[in-house]
Chain A
């Protein structure tokens, strides 16, 4: 089973490489492949980790789960929203991003209060 998967995967990769090599923009494809890999591993992810380290350093322990959740949601939303904001399509994408972050924070606080209330009723 495993060997079959590895062989099939290798054949499919070979098909992809042959197809891409025939594309007139093959060099551009190769450059973009390398660029996203290097930028992600050498720049993007270290910056994300640094952001996480900052949360651990400056946010009180009680607030860290919320800060991390907001960070993860904000990052994912930013990856989608930033190209929209700088691209040619009209739309208030930065405001949309801010709105999402506000709703995420408010939603999390609301859930925390609701849970605290439930716990209080259970103990009371």
Chain B
């Protein structure tokens, strides 16, 4: 279907920079590099977050620097949101390829197209589900977000690696194009023609590399060498496996036309890149205030804001939603510390009578928002010490009053258990904890996701580290 650049469909598809050939291999490659970098950042920070929440035996995560997770997860979400215009533009830039005819030219081509479909679906899945998650809009997602986002991240990265493997020469050539001199471009045009006239194999190469054709067309357009049409023709002939010199002279007459189109095309492509860059910047500035407090005034789309919520701190799950309000406010509340054959039950008064410590620590949510607060309470290691054992080589499982839920308990490993700033907090600022912040007692530790900062703590089980 998209075999003729003058077709009505192709003209329509050149939005938003028409008139002129706004799409190009170079533009696609530039967007691809930016998108690949963004996906790389999201993947690394996302897998890190997954490992922190579900640590395998080999994984070790330190308790300092205290704000490291806040940074990595803030970066994950900010980068993911900035990906929205990048992904949109990248998919727009290759949209005509969706209509290539015939849709499948063989087994290898079918496999390549299937991997591209997997890449596009996975990329859209990650961005859309991530946006929905930051908005707490779960109804459209018929799955548990966290695990689905994790597995599809692997799918996206696998498909991306495959895509890079297939498109590497094309992208490399397209990205180098600006630095090629005019005579070199002419030679490149000749090469493309040779491929075009060389029969099936050369045509196949041009197709597989995906760019010999587009590259030379681009070079010609941008630099006004007039080779655009011949290169385009070469591609067509490469596909058909036919000779094509008979039409070259006629096509080269259109050089001046190609030159004019090339100027417009270069301007149009710059406009696309500027628009995408501005959009990514605007989305970032409009949302990043949820974790970068100085920007909150301009972050008009921040899902959470420092200062929101009871006691000036945002809450994801309230006491009522967790079904613990009654138990949390019960005067008969006791915190049980158990392990190594001993058990100690502590009332709020008992806890208040123990040495109190303060720590300034952030709640760093997996959704990307974070806020710093001053917490006061008892060190977790002091509570573990009530069992009469050294805390070296042990871990603690902190369990909530919640009867159920994925986050009703969390394990505090050695580095965090021994940290001075890991507290069973009783106070937030100068006040007792609000019920929504975990009254009567909650875990707060440095460099840890918010979902692992267990609220409404009922029991601490100390055991040898696994």
Contact = CB atoms under 8 A, between A and B. Distances in A.
Contacts of A73: 85, 275, 278-279, 282
A71 B282 contact: no
B30 interface: no
A35 to B, nearest CB: 9
A68 B271 contact: yes
B303 to A, nearest CB: 6
B159 interface: yes
7 contacts: A8-B161, A17-B155, A25-B148, A52-B18, A68-B275, A79-B88, A99-B300
Interface string A97-108: 101100010000
B8 to A, nearest CB: 11
Given A40-B124, A76-B85, A53 B12 contact: yes
Given A9-B163, A25-B147, A72-B275, 4 more contacts: A28-B148, A32-B125, A32-B142, A79-B131
Interface of A: 1-6, 8-17, 19-20, 23, 25, 27-29, 31-34, 36-37, 40-41, 45, 48-49, 51-53, 55-56, 65, 68-69, 71-73, 75-77, 79-81, 83-84, 86-89, 91-93, 95-97, 99-100, 104
A84 B51 CA distance: 28
B151 A80 contact: no
B16 A36 contact: no
Nearest to B279: A76
Contacts, number: 215
Contact of A37 (B17, B84, B117, B151): B117
Contacts of A33: 121-122, 125, 152
Contacts of A20: 148, 151-152, 155
Contact of A80 (B16, B81, B162): B81
A122 B450 CA distance: 56
A96 B305 CA distance: 14
Nearest to B19: A56
Contacts of B158: 8-16
A22 B225 CA distance: 56
B165 A49 contact: no
A23 B147 contact: yes
Interface in B118-176: 118, 120-122, 124-125, 128-129, 131-132, 134-137, 140-144, 147-148, 150-155, 157-166, 168-169
B274 interface: yes
A77 B301 contact: yes
Given A72-B16, A79-B84, A28 B122 contact: no
A4 B168 CA distance: 12
A6 B143 CA distance: 29
Contacts of A52: 15-16, 18
Given A76-B84, A87-B136, A25 B155 contact: no
A45 B154 contact: no
Contacts of A14: 158
The 4 A-B residue pairs whose C-beta atoms are closest, nearest first, are: A52-B15, A28-B142, A5-B165, A12-B158
B104 interface: no
A118 B159 CA distance: 48
Contacts of B275: 68-69, 72-73
A63 B122 CA distance: 36
A83 B136 CA distance: 8
Given A32-B129, A36-B125, A65-B271, A104 B301 contact: no
B360 interface: no
Contacts of B16: 52, 55, 68, 71-72
A77 B151 contact: no
B168 A2 contact: yes
Contact of A12 (B131, B154, B304): B154
Nearest to A11: B158
Interface in B75-124: 81, 84-85, 88-89, 91-92, 95, 98, 115, 117-118, 120-122, 124
A72 B300 contact: no
B286 interface: yes
A80 B283 contact: yes
Nearest to B144: A25
Contacts of A89: 135-136, 303-304
A14 B19 CA distance: 43
A77 B303 CA distance: 13
Contacts of A31: 142
B299 to A, nearest CB: 9
Interface string B293-305: 0000000111110
B276 interface: yes
Interface string B215-236: 0000000000000000000000
Contacts of A97: 300-301
A36 B283 CA distance: 21
User: Counting chain A CB atoms within 10 Å of each CB, which of B117, B135, B142, B152 scores highest?
Assistant: B135
